[in-house]
Every structure is written in structure tokens, then in C-alpha cells.
């Protein structure tokens, strides 16, 4: 006889977030706020997860800016598919 138990959903802090993009990959960044430049960026670093995050974060760099940005995965897409960001 096979007994099946009801799966217990894990706590949010126990869920490992998976990154969709890889270091060195070119992505299209769609900012949620004004002041940031949308366009193509390079993934520089996969940011570690923390208990309060609901999605993966990345450090990205544009060829036209002098600094890196830390952004959420929902603001990134493949270069030919601009992301749809809820405002």
C-alpha cells in the first residue's frame, strides 16, 4: 500500500531563487522608474538571495554608463523582447 502525504509548502525564506540569465549575457533592461536608461546591458554578477527577496537580482552594466546597477529579474528580458513592467 502506497501512502501519500499532502505536500507542505516551504517557507518563503527556504525557497531558492533561480536566475534566468547568466554572467556575460546581454539583456534588455526596462526600468520601473525614471532616471534609469533602458536598453542593452551585460549581466556582471548574480546577486545572492536573501529572505526578503521575491525574485532574483542581478548586477548589470551598460556600455554608455560608468557604473553598475542592481536590478530585479522582472526588469530584464532577452534583447529582442523588451520586458513588460507593471507600474
**Calpha distance 24→27 (Å, rounded):** 9
- Judged against a pLDDT cut of 60, whether residue 66 lies above it is answered with yes
What was the pLDDT predicted at 23?
Answer: 97
Domains of the chain, start order: 16-77 (2.30.30)
CA nearest to 61, candidates 17, 33, 26, 34: 26
Burial class (CB in 10 A: 0-12, 13-18, 19+), 19: middle
Share of the chain above pLDDT 70, in %: 74
Burial degree of 60 (CB within 10 A; 0-12, 13-18, 19+): buried
pLDDT value of position 87: 56
| pTM greater than 0.95 | no
Cell of 2: 502506497
Amino acid at each position: 500500500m502506497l501512502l501519500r502525504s499532502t505536500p507542505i509548502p516551504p517557507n518563503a525564506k527556504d525557497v531558492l531563487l533561480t536566475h534566468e540569465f547568466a554572467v556575460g549575457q546581454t539583456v534588455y533592461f526596462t526600468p520601473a522608474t525614471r532616471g534609469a536608461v533602458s536598453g542593452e546591458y551585460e549581466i556582471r554578477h548574480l546577486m545572492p538571495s536573501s529572505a526578503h527577496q521575491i525574485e532574483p537580482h542581478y548586477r548589470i552594466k551598460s556600455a554608455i554608463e560608468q557604473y553598475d546597477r542592481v536590478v530585479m529579474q522582472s526588469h530584464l528580458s532577452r534583447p529582442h523582447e523588451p520586458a513588460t513592467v507593471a507600474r
